């Protein structure tokens, strides 16, 4: 795993990419925002419609915020990961040992908030059919069941390849980590109740839809979700207006657990464990 991401880093250093917007830049911009759609088709790792496996249950969470670590435009289905035009790569650190996302510097936004704003003049001209986005962090509301009563709480989900955390909070609940956590780490706190917990989803269980799995596979645990524009995004280098890109992500039953009591309710006190928190598909669109 460590070698894989070092290789990706080498590939990316040969390309132009941008870690933040520059408000001093003038001219038209490429502006990227997220949409979180509970009704969008629920996909599996191959980008095909997926049902919930027998023995599991799932719910559609209500999102507060989302964070991404990597954004890349790909000209066609044969463009390998890291060989397109990389628009963004977040901060990384080895403070916890292996290379990891530095959560303290991660860009986290709400739905429809600007995630990325890049001068179009700095993006390589060309036609781009696909976009890839590494979705590293999710914060949302879920329902849990305990002793016959339903409660609402907030879950922080870390689904990037590896995340370095010092400490973070959910409301008044503080979670000290001071180390790396692999894909699938989560922390949970009840809203307005003195209860919190944390855990780790099984290795390799996070769904990462990639319709290009046959021609352009992604690295294990990368969490790079792939989506196709209905019409290729054309960058000419002569734009006079902003291009607004919306990345619509499927939240359709994206929080999944293994059931002990087959009632469709998440009941951690009964030993029901989280198995999958991966978003369930990406549909990109743009307006010029």
Given a cut of 90, is residue 42 above it in pLDDT?
yes
Contact 119, 27 (CB under 8 A): yes
Locus of tokens 């289905």: 77
Q: Tell me the pLDDT band of 16, cut-offs 50, 70 and 90.
A: very low
Nearest CA-CA partner of 179 in 107, 277, 68, 98 = 98
pLDDT in tens, 146-194: 999 999 999 999 999 999 999 999 999 999 999 999 999 999 999 988 8
Locus of tokens 């408000």: 23
Contact 28, 239 (CB under 8 A): yes
Given a cut of 60, is residue 65 above it in pLDDT?
yes
User: Percent of the chain, pLDDT > 70?
Assistant: 91
Edge to edge, what strands does the sheet with 282-287 contain? 114-119, 29-37, 243-250, 282-287
Q: How far apart are CA 130 and CA 73, in angstroms?
A: 6
Contact 45, 209 (CB under 8 A): yes
Model pTM above 0.75: yes
121-126: average pLDDT: 97
Nearest CA-CA partner of 287 in 239, 251, 249, 238 = 239
Question: Which residues neighbour 272 within 8 Å (Cβ) at sequence distance 6 or greater?
Answer: 257, 258, 259, 260, 261, 266
Contact 249, 36 (CB under 8 A): yes
> According to the model, what pLDDT value does residue 192 have?
86
Contact 112, 150 (CB under 8 A): no
> According to the model, what pLDDT value does residue 25 have?
64
Contact 244, 227 (CB under 8 A): no
Q: How far apart are CA 189 and CA 169, in angstroms?
A: 9
């Amino acid at each position: 795993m460590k070698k894989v991401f070092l290789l990706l880093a080498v590939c990316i250093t040969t390309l132009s990419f941008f870690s933040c917007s520059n408000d001093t830049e003038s001219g038209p911009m490429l502006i990227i925002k997220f949409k979180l759609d509970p009704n969008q088709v629920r996909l599996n790792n191959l980008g095909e419609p997926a049902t919930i496996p027998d023995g599991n249950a799932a719910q559609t969470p209500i999102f507060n915020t989302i964070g991404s670590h990597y954004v890349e435009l790909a000209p066609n289905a044969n463009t390998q990961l890291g060989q397109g035009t990389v628009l963004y790569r977040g901060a990384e650190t080895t403070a916890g040992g292996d290379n990891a996302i530095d959560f303290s510097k991660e860009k986290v936004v709400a739905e429809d908030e600007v995630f990325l704003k890049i001068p179009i003049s700095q993006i390589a001209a060309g036609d781009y059919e696909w976009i890839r986005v590494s979705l590293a962090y999710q914060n949302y509301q879920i329902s849990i069941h305990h002793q016959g009563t339903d409660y609402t709480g907030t879950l922080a989900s870390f689904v990037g390849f590896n995340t370095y955390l010092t400490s973070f909070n959910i409301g008044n609940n503080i979670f000290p980590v001071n180390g790396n956590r692999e894909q699938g780490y989560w922390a949970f706190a009840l809203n307005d109740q003195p209860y919190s917990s944390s855990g780790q989803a099984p290795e390799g269980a996070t769904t990462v839809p990639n319709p290009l799995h046959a021609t352009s596979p992604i690295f294990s645990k990368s969490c790079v979700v792939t989506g196709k524009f209905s019409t290729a995004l054309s960058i000419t280098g002569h734009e006079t207006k902003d291009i607004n890109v919306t990345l619509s992500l499927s939240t359709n039953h994206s929080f999944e657990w293994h059931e002990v009591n087959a009632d469709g309710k998440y009941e951690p006190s009964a030993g029901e464990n989280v198995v999958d928190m991966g978003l369930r598909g990406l549909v990109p669109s743009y307006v010029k």
